[in-house]
């Protein structure tokens, strides 16, 4: 009985406490609501005074000779497009976006306006200046971007990298490939030495290149050896031995001793998948 | 009560409060230091100067490319991205991650304000012409140093020589465009020249005298000349002003200015040789260690002082070998074998690589670890800690493991040449006892004595930091600091920003470039040789036999990389020579791993790629660093560098 009584007492106490709590909660809700009303009412005007950018700029960068798209890597060491919006200023701050790996580009969030567009990548620059900074050639395109605007840029790549045969999977967990690197342009100003030919390998992604590779297996040839290989069939084998429990993606890149926008950019062949599983 | 009494009281109260307040309302705020306070007395000037010097961009014990100037936590300093050393915190090529821009222009503004305001106070404050000249000279010196730090990062930068006022001036006037890189270097030269004219022969330690101005000028002009000669990146703005790159025909002129400026110091400074003795490697080593700690050194031209507890750094704590660690940090700078191979007096193959094998292709065995380094150039020994060398009267224990295999007929290579796998994952693992971590089980040797599988300062295979490469840095480490005090924010040794050895190297390099360009007027080649000879002699290195042996700029560059290593200079040298991308193109640096062969009771060394296989590839865009995009959005006249 005693037990029962005390339990009852406790029960009673709890309900009182709960009531207090409920009252407090009500008060808090009132405050929060009035707070919300205050801020909500004043912010009810308009979300933004501009429409979001909705025009599309798409297209491709292709080889002048073969009309094939220029293979590149993703990111700003591949091909990037420089846009100058001339609608409101002669000297605008440039806007950049980058090409996809296969040399195409597609940007669906561009403001409507008049733009100068030029791609920058591993090919003879479309805007060339002499030693005094005077422009000698300018193959950039100035267009009104509205709706879907499609542009094609024809360029001369520094180098062509072609597969010779298919990649061969070796028993010890390595891959051997053969490629031929040739000059892609006859322009005498862009016949600098080939500084590097590299076999990039990646164990997880089709997006393979200097931006995304497994450094345990990737091999490079550099210096005179690289420069001497122009026009020859080059055989490259990945170093060390890798796990045979997954597929690999391989691709060969080559570059010359010329900086485009500060970087020596690679020309590539198409990535290939080496199926193991 | 009658209301009139109230009126009287209120009126008199009003009078009481308002009449004394009638003197002046427009008084300067009491909580802001006024021009009169600063420019009214030499003490005020000293305080202003202290602030300027404190902000001067000096890459010292408190600088790292990841964090910038005047930082404390320096565990990834410059030498760990140049290939001089490796740090466990650093595993790829990097460039400076902070933008030195806003702080630079804030400092330049303070300097410009000083230059503008000081002369107007000259009479009122009764300053002598001499004092005013000296102070102005310091201001020009600091402005040149600051612009040089900007130019070597960004190329041509906006030149602001007067105090800009906002909001008094319209915003268009404040959006100063970048000058050409050439004009920027011309401006730097002009400021240094002005400083040279105005500055005194000597000044308080830590402040510039005229020789500091000349020495810095030689550094800056050598940089400008190198850009003119070696740079391949160009950037023009709409007015055809060349923001990146200097016309090649200016190279000789800049080298000449560097040479002339360096020559001005001759006879006023000298290499530190207080304890140096000919043909005594021990004395030469000790002399080279002392050179960084002797406050009276005749070699110090411009220094930055520290003092515990007001102004401190943590160089010792971050770089002490692991066995001395008391504060949770150690071994941030581990010199690479590639760096060590630059030095003389080591066993080497004909192509200059370290030789650890005997004629039969087996490991060469040594009684003591230090026997391997017995003939090493004293400068190298003073620059890095060899396995088994002494520090603070203790032997620094560095070894990778104990070799328990058979030694009859010699020890075969543990791994094939060029192997990248760790010893633990190789076929040699069964013949080795190694340790993953510093808490290790001693191994019993055949004679019954106990020995740790790895040295107390490394290297441990699951704990990369200590002796990552088999070496630890010695330069700048305070040899007299009690180990218990090696904690953070406790070190206060002086940073020597400019010493005479660098001036000699600047002079030699400029002279060689002039000789190569066919400039007449002096025996440039002979002079370059003499500078290099002095450096080599003091260092205890092999001395070039004659000027005729000076056949390549690479000899001078190599000397520079040895002499100025770990002084935060090499990064800029590799950049201005435009060879950083060749140095770091898929590069993995090498290590030298000592092993104890228990059955032979001797040591051997294994030369290999460092076991983390960190790959360094320098991005050529970094030759011109990115300008803070935030600054670009502030001014449409500010053109970004190529590639960003």
Q: Tell me if B636 and A264 make a contact (CB, 8 A cut-off).
A: no
Q: Is residue A3 part of a domain?
A: no
Comparing alpha-carbon positions, the chain B residue that sits nearest to A215 is B615
Task: Return the residue in A80, A259, A264, A266 with the most chain B beta carbons within 10 A, the one to mutate for interface testing.
Answer: A259
Whether A91 and chain B come into contact, CB under 8 Å, resolves to yes
| Owning domain of residue A119 | 55-155
Query: Residue A255's domain is classified under what CATH number?
Result: 2.60.40.2060
> How many Cα atoms occupy the beta-carbon half-sphere of B618 within 13 Å?
20
Whether B624 and chain A come into contact, CB under 8 Å, resolves to yes
Lowest model confidence (mean pLDDT) among A132-136, B211-215, B257-261, B304-308: A132-136
> Same structural domain for residues A268 and A182?
yes
pLDDT at B165 over 50: yes
Comparing alpha-carbon positions, the chain B residue that sits nearest to A217 is B420
Helix ranges (H only) for B231-295 are 251-263, 281-290
Q: Tell me if B643 and A261 make a contact (CB, 8 A cut-off).
A: yes
Residue A106, burial from CB neighbour count under 10 angstroms (0-12, 13-18, 19+): middle
Mean pLDDT to the nearest integer, B587-604: 96
Domain end point (choices A121, A155, A189): A155
Residues of A in contact with B92 (CB under 8 A): none
Output the CA torsion sign for B126, B128, B134, B140.
positive
pLDDT at A110 over 70: yes
- CA of B553 to nearest chain A CA: how many angstroms apart? 20
ipTM over 0.85: no
Comparing alpha-carbon positions, the chain A residue that sits nearest to B611 is A216
Mean pLDDT to the nearest integer, B20-25: 63
In three-state form (DSSP H/G/I as H, E/B as E, the rest C), the secondary structure along B278-312 is: CCCHHHHHHHHHHCCCCCCCCCEEEEECCECCCEC
Q: Is residue B517 part of a domain?
A: no
Mean pLDDT to the nearest integer, A102-121: 95
Tell me the CA distances in angstroms from A137 to A68, A127, A182, B36, one per residue in order. Answer: 23, 5, 25, 59
Let me know: does A272 contact A251? Beta carbons within 8 Å: yes
| Owning domain of residue B202 | 35-57+100-268+624-634
Q: Is residue B187 part of a domain?
A: yes
Q: Is residue B532 part of a domain?
A: no
Which of A92, A240, A261 lies nearest to residue B636, judging by beta carbons? A92
> How many Cα atoms occupy the beta-carbon half-sphere of B562 within 13 Å?
26
Planar angle of CA B56, B58, B63, nearest 5 degrees: 120
Q: Is residue B405 part of a domain?
A: no
> Same structural domain for residues A92 and A37?
no
Determine how many CB atoms are found less than 10 A away from the CB of residue B105.
19
Q: Tell me if A264 and B620 make a contact (CB, 8 A cut-off).
A: yes
Residues of B in contact with A77 (CB under 8 A): 619, 621, 643
Q: Is residue A9 part of a domain?
A: no
> Same structural domain for residues A136 and A177?
no
Q: Compute the distance between CA of residue B218 and CA of residue B260 in angstroms, rounded to an integer.
A: 8
Alpha carbon distance, N-terminus to C-terminus of chain A: 75
Q: Tell me if B236 and A129 make a contact (CB, 8 A cut-off).
A: yes
pLDDT band at B22 (very low <50, low <70, confident <90, very high): low
Instruction: List the structure tokens of B283.
Output: 């004395």
Mean pLDDT to the nearest integer, B491-502: 97
Q: How many interchain CB pairs under 8 A, A with B?
A: 64
Q: Which pLDDT value is given to residue A17?
A: 55
Q: Is residue B536 part of a domain?
A: no
Give the residue with greater pLDDT, A90 vs B342.
B342
Mean pLDDT to the nearest integer, B314-325: 96
Burial profile B178-199: b = 16 or more Cβ within 10 angstroms, e = fewer:
bbbbbbbbbbbbebbbbbbebb
Whether A166 and chain B come into contact, CB under 8 Å, resolves to no
Across chain A, mean pLDDT equals 87
pLDDT at A42 over 80: no
Determine how many CB atoms are found less than 10 A away from the CB of residue B295.
10
List the beta strands (DSSP E) in B54-148: 85-86
Q: Tell me if B642 and A261 make a contact (CB, 8 A cut-off).
A: yes
Mean pLDDT to the nearest integer, B108-122: 96
Q: Compute the distance between CA of residue B321 and CA of residue B510 in angstroms, rounded to an integer.
A: 38
> Same structural domain for residues A89 and A177?
no
Tell me the CA distances in angstroms from B46 to B41, B89, B295, B382, one per residue in order. Answer: 9, 40, 22, 37
Q: What share of chain B is helix, strand, coil (3-state, %, to 5)?
A: 40, 10, 50
Whether A215 and chain B come into contact, CB under 8 Å, resolves to yes
Residues of B in contact with A239 (CB under 8 A): 420
Tell me the CA distances in angstroms from B217 to B495, B507, B510, one per residue in order. Answer: 19, 11, 12
Farthest-apart Cα atoms in chain A, separation: 108
Tokens 């605007």 — which residue? Answer: A149
Whether A222 and chain B come into contact, CB under 8 Å, resolves to yes
Convert the pLDDT of each residue in A136-150 to its tens digit.
999 999 999 999 999
Residues of A in contact with B241 (CB under 8 A): 133
Q: Tell me if A216 and B613 make a contact (CB, 8 A cut-off).
A: yes
Residues of A in contact with B586 (CB under 8 A): 198, 215, 218, 220, 222
Query: Residue B243's domain is classified under what CATH number?
Result: 1.25.40.390
Give the residue with greater pLDDT, B604 vs B10.
B604
Give the residue with greater pLDDT, A33 vs B205.
B205
Is the link from the previous residue into B608 a cis peptide, with omega within 30 of 0?
no
pLDDT at B367 over 50: yes
pLDDT at B440 over 70: yes
Which of B613, B621, B637 lies nearest to residue A262, judging by beta carbons? B621
Task: Return the residue in B427, B585, B640 with the most chain A beta carbons within 10 A, the one to mutate for interface testing.
Answer: B585
Instruction: List the structure tokens of B78.
Output: 């410059």
Q: Which region holds residue A240: left if phi is over 0, alpha if psi is between -120 and 50, else beta?
A: left
Most confidently modeled range among A23-27, A191-195, B185-189: B185-189
Instruction: List the structure tokens of B48.
Output: 């202003």
Q: Which of A124, A113, A206 is nearest to A157 (CA)?
A: A124
Mean pLDDT to the nearest integer, A80-103: 92
Residues of B in contact with A264 (CB under 8 A): 581, 620
Q: Compute the distance between CA of residue B373 and CA of residue B376 in angstroms, rounded to an integer.
A: 5
Domain end point (choices A133, A155, A177): A155
> Same structural domain for residues A127 and A38?
no
Q: Is residue B16 part of a domain?
A: no
pLDDT band at A4 (very low <50, low <70, confident <90, very high): very low
Q: Is residue B162 part of a domain?
A: yes
Residues of A in contact with B623 (CB under 8 A): 262
> Can you count the helices (H) and strands (E) in chain A?
2, 18
> Same structural domain for residues A218 and A268?
yes
Whether A43 and chain B come into contact, CB under 8 Å, resolves to no
Which of B241, B420, B643 lies nearest to residue A262, judging by beta carbons? B643
Q: Is residue A102 part of a domain?
A: yes
Task: Return the residue in A82, A97, A133, A243 with the most chain B beta carbons within 10 A, the one to mutate for interface testing.
Answer: A133
Q: Compute the distance between CA of residue B424 and CA of residue B432 in angstroms, rounded to an integer.
A: 8
Instruction: List the structure tokens of B248.
Output: 């090649």
Q: Compute the distance between CA of residue B88 and CA of residue B463 in angstroms, rounded to an integer.
A: 9
Mean pLDDT to the nearest integer, B436-440: 95
Tell me the CA distances in angstroms from B182 to A260, B157, B220, B372, B481, one per residue in order. Answer: 22, 10, 12, 49, 46
% of chain A residues with pLDDT over 90 = 62
Q: How many domains, chain A?
A: 3
pLDDT band at B3 (very low <50, low <70, confident <90, very high): low
Mean pLDDT to the nearest integer, B557-570: 97
Whether B236 and chain A come into contact, CB under 8 Å, resolves to yes
Residues of B in contact with A93 (CB under 8 A): 632-633, 636
Convert the pLDDT of each residue in B615-633 to its tens digit.
898 999 999 999 999 999 8
- CA of A248 to nearest chain B CA: how many angstroms apart? 21
> Same structural domain for residues A268 and A165?
yes
Residues of B in contact with A128 (CB under 8 A): none
- CA of B112 to nearest chain A CA: how many angstroms apart? 29
Let me know: does B267 contact B465? Beta carbons within 8 Å: no
Convert the pLDDT of each residue in B34-81 to its tens digit.
999 999 999 999 999 999 999 999 999 999 999 999 999 999 999 999
Residues of B in contact with A76 (CB under 8 A): 643-644
Whether A85 and chain B come into contact, CB under 8 Å, resolves to no
Domain end point (choices A137, A155, A173): A155
pLDDT at B195 over 80: yes
Mean pLDDT to the nearest integer, A112-119: 95
Lowest model confidence (mean pLDDT) among B100-114, B339-353, B393-407, B415-429: B415-429
pLDDT band at B254 (very low <50, low <70, confident <90, very high): very high
Planar angle of CA B354, B358, B359, nearest 5 degrees: 115
Query: Residue A63's domain is classified under what CATH number?
Result: 2.60.40.1120
Which of B233, B240, B632 lies nearest to residue A262, judging by beta carbons? B233
Convert the pLDDT of each residue in A11-24 to its tens digit.
444 455 555 666 66
% of chain B residues with pLDDT over 90 = 89
Comparing alpha-carbon positions, the chain B residue that sits nearest to A121 is B643
Residues of A in contact with B615 (CB under 8 A): 215
Q: Is residue B184 part of a domain?
A: yes
Q: Compute the distance between CA of residue A97 and CA of residue A179 in angstroms, rounded to an integer.
A: 30
In three-state form (DSSP H/G/I as H, E/B as E, the rest C), the secondary structure along B427-463 is: HHHHHEEECCCCCCCCEECCCCCEECCCECCECECCE
Which of B236, B613, B633 lies nearest to residue A133, judging by beta carbons? B236
Let me know: does B220 contact B185? Beta carbons within 8 Å: yes
> Same structural domain for residues A164 and A234?
yes
Convert the pLDDT of each residue in A124-179 to its tens digit.
999 999 888 899 999 999 999 999 999 999 999 999 999 999 999 998 889 999 99
pLDDT at A202 over 80: yes
Q: Facing residues of B472 across strands?
A: B385
Q: Tell me if B643 and A76 make a contact (CB, 8 A cut-off).
A: yes
Q: Which pLDDT value is given to residue A19?
A: 57
Mean pLDDT to the nearest integer, B494-523: 96
pLDDT at A1 over 60: no
Q: Is residue A128 part of a domain?
A: yes
Q: How many domains, chain B?
A: 1
CA B53 distance to own-chain centroid:
17
- CA of B619 to nearest chain A CA: how many angstroms apart? 7
E strand or H helix that includes residue B340:
helix B337-340
Q: Tell me if A259 and B641 make a contact (CB, 8 A cut-off).
A: no
> Same structural domain for residues A147 and A165?
no
Helix, strand or coil, per DSSP, at residue B43: helix
pLDDT at A5 over 50: no
Across chain B, mean pLDDT equals 94
Whether B420 and chain A come into contact, CB under 8 Å, resolves to yes
Q: Tell me if A262 and B642 make a contact (CB, 8 A cut-off).
A: yes
> Same structural domain for residues A151 and A163?
no
Q: Which pLDDT value is given to residue A2?
A: 43
DSSP state of A67: -
CA B50 distance to own-chain centroid:
22
């Amino acid at each position: 009985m005693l037990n029962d009584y005390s339990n009852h007492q406790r029960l009673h106490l709890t309900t009182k406490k709960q009531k207090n709590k409920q009252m407090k909660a009500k008060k808090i809700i009132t405050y929060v609501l009035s707070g919300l009303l205050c801020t909500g009412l004043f912010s009810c005007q308009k979300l933004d005074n501009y429409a979001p950018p909705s025009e599309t700029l798409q297209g491709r960068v292709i080889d002048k000779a073969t009309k094939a798209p220029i293979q590149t890597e993703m990111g700003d060491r591949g091909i990037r497009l420089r846009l100058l919006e001339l609608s409101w200023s002669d000297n605008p701050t440039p806007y950049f976006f980058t090409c996809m790996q296969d040399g195409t580009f597609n940007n669906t969030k561009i403001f409507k306006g008049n733009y100068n567009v030029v791609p920058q990548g591993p090919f003879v620059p479309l805007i060339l200046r002499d030693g005094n900074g005077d422009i000698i050639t300018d193959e950039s395109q100035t267009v009104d971007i509205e709706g879907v605007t499609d542009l094609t840029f024809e360029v001369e790549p520094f180098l062509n990298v072609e597969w010779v045969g298919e990649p061969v999977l070796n028993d010890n967990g390595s891959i051997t490939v053969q490629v031929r690197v040739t000059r892609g342009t006859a322009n005498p100003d862009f016949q600098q030495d080939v500084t590097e030919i590299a076999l990039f390998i990646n164990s997880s992604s089709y997006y393979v290149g200097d931006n995304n590779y497994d450094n345990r297996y990737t091999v490079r040839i550099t210096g005179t050896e690289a420069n001497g290989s122009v026009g020859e069939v080059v055989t490259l084998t990945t170093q060390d031995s890798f796990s045979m429990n997954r597929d690999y993606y391989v691709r060969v890149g080559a570059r010359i001793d010329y900086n485009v926008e500060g970087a020596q950019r690679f020309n590539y062949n198409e990535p290939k998948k080496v199926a193991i599983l | 009560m009658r209301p009139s009494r109230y009126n009287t009281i209120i009126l008199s109260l009003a009078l009481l409060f308002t009449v004394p307040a009638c003197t002046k309302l427009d008084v300067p705020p009491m909580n802001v230091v006024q021009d009169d306070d600063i420019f009214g007395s030499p003490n005020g000037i000293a305080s202003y100067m202290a602030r300027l010097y404190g902000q001067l961009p000096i890459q010292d014990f408190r600088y790292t490319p990841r964090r910038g100037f005047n930082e404390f936590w320096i565990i990834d300093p410059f030498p760990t991205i140049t290939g001089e050393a490796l740090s466990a915190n650093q595993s790829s090529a990097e460039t400076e991650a902070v933008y030195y821009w806003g702080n630079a222009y804030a400092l330049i503004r303070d300097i410009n304000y000083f230059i503008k305001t000081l002369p107007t106070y000259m009479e009122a404050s009764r300053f002598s012409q001499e004092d005013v000249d000296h102070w102005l000279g310091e201001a020009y010196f600091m402005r040149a140093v600051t612009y040089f730090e900007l130019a070597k990062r960004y190329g041509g930068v906006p030149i602001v020589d007067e105090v800009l006022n906002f909001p008094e001036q319209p915003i268009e006037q404040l959006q100063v465009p970048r000058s050409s890189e050439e004009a920027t270097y011309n401006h730097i030269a002009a400021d240094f020249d002005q400083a040279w004219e105005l500055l005194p022969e000597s000044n308080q330690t830590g402040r510039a005298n005229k020789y500091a101005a000349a020495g810095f000028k030689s550094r800056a002009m050598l940089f400008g000349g190198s850009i003119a000669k070696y740079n391949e990146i160009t950037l023009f703005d709409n007015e055809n002003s060349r923001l990146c790159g200097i016309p090649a025909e200016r190279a000789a002129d800049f080298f000449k200015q560097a040479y002339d400026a360096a020559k001005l110091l001759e006879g006023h400074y000298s290499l530190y040789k207080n304890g140096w003795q000919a043909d005594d490697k021990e004395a030469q080593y000790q002399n080279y260690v002392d050179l960084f700690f002797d406050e009276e050194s005749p070699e110090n031209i411009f220094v930055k002082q520290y003092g515990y507890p007001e102004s401190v750094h943590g160089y010792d704590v971050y770089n002490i070998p692991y066995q001395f660690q008391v504060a949770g940090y150690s071994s941030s700078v581990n010199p690479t074998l590639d760096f060590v191979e630059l030095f003389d007096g080591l066993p080497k193959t004909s192509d200059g690589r370290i030789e650890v094998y005997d004629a039969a292709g087996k490991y060469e065995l040594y009684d003591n670890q230090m026997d391997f380094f017995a003939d090493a150039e004293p400068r190298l020994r003073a620059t890095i800690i060899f396995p088994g060398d002494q520090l603070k009267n203790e032997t620094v224990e560095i070894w990778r493991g104990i070799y328990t295999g058979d030694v009859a007929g010699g020890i075969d290579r543990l791994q094939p040449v060029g192997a990248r796998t760790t010893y633990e994952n190789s076929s040699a693992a069964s013949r080795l006892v190694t340790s993953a971590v510093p808490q290790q089980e001693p191994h019993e040797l055949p004679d019954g004595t106990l020995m740790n599988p790895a040295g107390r300062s490394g290297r441990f295979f699951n704990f990369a930091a200590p002796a990552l490469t088999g070496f630890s840095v010695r330069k700048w480490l305070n040899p007299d600091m009690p180990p218990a005090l090696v904690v953070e924010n406790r070190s206060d040794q002086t940073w020597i920003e400019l010493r005479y050895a660098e001036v000699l190297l600047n002079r030699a390099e400029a002279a060689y470039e002039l000789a190569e360009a066919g400039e007449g007027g002096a025996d440039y080649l002979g002079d370059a040789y003499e500078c290099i000879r002095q450096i080599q002699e003091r260092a205890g290195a092999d001395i070039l036999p004659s000027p005729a042996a000076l056949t390549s700029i690479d000899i001078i560059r190599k000397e520079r990389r040895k002499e100025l290593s770990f002084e935060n200079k090499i990064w800029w040298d590799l950049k201005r020579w435009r060879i950083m991308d060749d140095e770091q193109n898929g590069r993995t640096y090498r290590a030298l791993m000592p092993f104890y062969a228990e059955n032979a009771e001797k040591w051997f060394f294994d030369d290999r790629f460092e076991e983390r296989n960190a790959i360094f590839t320098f991005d050529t865009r970094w030759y011109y660093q990115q300008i803070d995009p935030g600054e670009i959005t502030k001014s449409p006249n500010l053109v970004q560098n190529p590639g960003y």
